[in-house]
Structure 1
Amino acid sequence: MASHSDVHALPGFVAMDALSVLRGGRRGASVQITDGYLAGQRTVLEAVDPPISTDDRSAICRESRRICEDIHIDIDTLTEGNLREASVRFRRLLQRLPEVSYLERHYPETCFVVPEWVRTPGEVRYGARVYFFADDAPDPESVMDENIRAVTDESPESFERYQGSLHGYPECCIDFYAGATRSPETDPESQSIAPLEERVRDDRLERGSPLSWSFDEVLRGFFDDPQSYAFFAHEFYPEPGCETARRRGVEIYETLAGALPEPLVRDYFRFNFGWSYLMAKAVRDGADETPEPGRFGREHALLYLPLRIVLELY
């Protein structure tokens, strides 16, 4: 069975997502290659005293950011053919990113990058997502085609459902997220974290540096609520009170605890909830930025370090 050494070079939270795939807990996992993801790793690597240099991670992230900033995709008219042609060109560029090469090199099974398109009023935004699979992996072209059809048909929920199945999420949670009516009062992100929201010490997050506080101080009695186990994946928004998600989370918790120190597994679940909590606030505030490392406490920053460094710290 896979061990932490199979993913020890990946960023901590990515490694633990990927390890749950390798150990059979989920079909797949993924991570967006955003400016925040790349800049965040450099920030944490350089903030550790003394600064950590592992496989020159800082240089890899810095060069990847530089290349991403130079990528500009223009589409004359939004047709399926034009978007597919742009996707092929875009993917060739993304495959040259040092970060993508690094992730592919340090993951033992199927790993690939694809463009990700999101249609918003007046524009189509684009980004990159790296997927991790063990068995039952789709081919990259299938993922791109599903995304392209959802954009040209103006049916984002169809791609959200497809992505949910790729990640092995419970069907009920996929239905909850993809079928939600989106407004400041009903967005699925806020609904998902609502049952556990009162456990967050917002006064700690808003007073001084978030790095001053640990998860224990920011989240009061998180694991006293059984639904804490529903946050078993990064960027996952479980249906409130979902028993299926809770049971799946318990299984993944036990699977990861068989390969990693249990305090680290606990922090991984708290990291996932913290990310979802901060993203829910961003959605309500109309912000586009993803949470910066450490915004939810010290461990939120530590899990951006390579897993083997995280294990030394734990």
Structure 2
Amino acid sequence: MSDGIRRLPTFAALSGQAVLDGHRKGASIQLDETYFAGQSRALRTADEFSPSERRLAGLRDSKETYERIDVRVESLTEQHLWEASRRFRRQLRTVPEVDYLDRQFPGRCFVVPEWLRTDNRLHYGARVYLFREDDAPTPEAVMRENVEAVVADSFEAFERYQGRLHGYPDCCIDFYQNRSPDSPSPEWQSVAPFADRIHDAALEAGPPESIEDVVPEFLDAEAEYAFFAREFFPEPGCETARTKGRVIHDALAATIDEGLVEDYFKLTFGFNYLVAQAVHTGGDRRPAPGDLGREHLLFYAPLGELTTLPRYS
């Protein structure tokens, strides 16, 4: 595992390593306030961590630069949205964190705008993609797929494309897009078979002390390896997803502490459970760093820092 990977936030480092190992086509990081603030909080949480002032300043500058970006779309046409995408991407490339991720990741790393259309409203964000050097689309190709889907009001087409970029099994992509008002959401159907492993009381009492309070025993059931990525909701019983997850687990555990890898899978499932719960109850809130315990916050710290802690050394 390279020094560059070890400098990435742990949740991104482990996803990125699975890409470099060839077990996923790609991975991504959503750039937002949660991402920037989570890292700053994590680096100040453990006494064993020794973040440089330069790194902390870079995160502050990145958050401020991102928040200052002015996004304007003249009208919802393909030409105008494409022009807005190009302007937005130029501004995103001035965010220091984008350059930091590009320098650290030993593969292909780039940032693109991300558009979403709901009820004739246009929402925007930013996503950094991680690919192997020899197996990456161009940023323009990703942007074009997104723009065309939004203008045509067929975001499902982009979701399918995006799922393949992340290396999700086609059967799980099909399952995720099979939504019906008469059935629970695919998110909830995906996590429901394992919901009894979640201690809801620990979540309802406030931020738990540890992920072990929420998911005390997780990897004792082979099917649970299917949850190998944040916001990936596998089809219940999918053997392809389970096998892929087990391969990712074993490859990571061969190079770093197995307890850290198991926490990664616990946290990933817990994260997906909270997302599914929000969707199921009509909410849209993504889990904030620490919602699943101390380890959830610490996974925003660099992997290299995390491996110095007694829990993972």
Scaled by the length of structure 1, what TM-score is found? 0.93
d(CA) in 2 for partners of 1:309, 1:66: 25
> 2:278 — aligned with what?
282
Q: Aligned in 2, Cα 1:295/1:275: closer, same or farther, shift over 3 Å? A: same
Q: Deviations over 1:232-271 (max 9, x none)?
A: 1222111112111001111111111112111111111111
Distance 1:53 1:84, change over 3 A: same
- The aligned residue for residue 136 of structure 1 is 135
1:220 deviates by 3.4
Q: Does residue 307 of structure 1 match 2:303?
A: yes
Is 1:87 the counterpart of 2:77 in the alignment? no
Could you say if the C-alpha distance between residues 198 and 184 of structure 1 is closer, same or farther in structure 2, counting changes exceeding 3 Å? farther
Deviates more, 1:265-274 or 1:80-89: 265-274
Distance verdict in 2 for CA 1:4–1:285, change over 3 Å: farther
Name the counterpart of 1:97: 95
Distance in 1 separating the partners of 2:281 and 2:50: 35
**Shift of residue 102, structure 1, vs aligned partner:** 0.8
Q: Percent of pairs identical after alignment?
A: 50
Structural mapping, 1:196-275, within 5 Å: 196-210=194-208, 212=209, 214-275=210-271
Partner residue of 2:69? 71
Is the 1:42–1:57 Cα contact (8 Å) retained in structure 2?
Answer: no
The answer as to 2:28 corresponding to 1:33 is no
Structure 1 residue identity aligned to 2:102: E
Query: Which amino acid is 2:109 matched to?
Result: C
Match of 1:297 in 2: 293
**1:71 is aligned with what amino acid?**
I
TM-score of the two chains, using structure 2 as the length reference: 0.94
Q: CA separation in 1, counterparts of 2:53 and 2:11?
A: 18
Q: Which runs of 5+ in 1 are unaligned?
A: none
Q: Which position in structure 1 is the counterpart of 2:156?
A: 157
What is the CA distance between 1:293 and its match in structure 2?
A: 1.1
Secondary structure of the corresponding residue to residue 110 of structure 2: strand
**Whole-angstrom CA distance in 2 between matches of 1:146 and 1:136:** 18
SS in 2 for 1:198: helix
Mark the CA change 1:307 to 1:253 in structure 2 (over 3 Å): closer, same or farther: same
In 1, Cα distance between the equivalents of 2:99 and 2:3? 18
**Preserved CA contact (<8 Å) 1:38 1:64:** yes
Instruction: Tell me the CA shift for residue 203 of structure 1.
Output: 0.9
Structure 2, unaligned runs of 5 or more: none
The CA RMSD over aligned residues, in Å, is 1.7
Matches within 5 A, 1:31-70: 31-49=29-47, 52-54=50-52, 56-70=54-68
Greater Cα offset, 157-166 or 49-58: 49-58
